[in-house]
Amino acid sequence: MKKLRKVDKAKRKKQRKDAQKKMEEQISLLSNHPKDCCVCKKLFIRNHDTVKSWMVTIVSEKKKVHLTCPACWDTVKEITRCQE
């Protein structure tokens, strides 16, 4: 009979490994983000304001990264709200 503590320890270790792997995949996707808005193709110029205001969406299943400017993000939110 296994001790309950060992079972929990193995389960937590597997969960930690899975979470670490998922985080590494998302970081690698994020490091290769697009350089323009996915809707209007407005160029993303990296500075303090754009980093704070532009939205990044990661689609894990397709392993795609979408970068959206604030104006287009409002449009995207409105469209998704209407589809609900």
- Residue 59, number of CB atoms within 10 A of its CB: 10
The pTM is what? 0.58
Residue ranges of domains in the chain? 1-32, 34-84
Q: Are 72 and 56 in contact (CB under 8 A)?
A: no
Q: What is the pLDDT of residues 37-80, one digit of tens each?
A: 888 888 888 888 888 888 888 777 777 888 889 888 888 888 77
- Cα 49 from Cα 13, distance rounded (Å): 39
Write down the pLDDT at residue 15.
92
- From residue 27, how far is each of 30, 33, 71 by CA, in Å? 5, 10, 26
Confidence of residue 7 (pLDDT cuts 50, 70, 90): low
Q: What is the pLDDT of residues 38-50, one digit of tens each?
A: 888 888 888 888 8
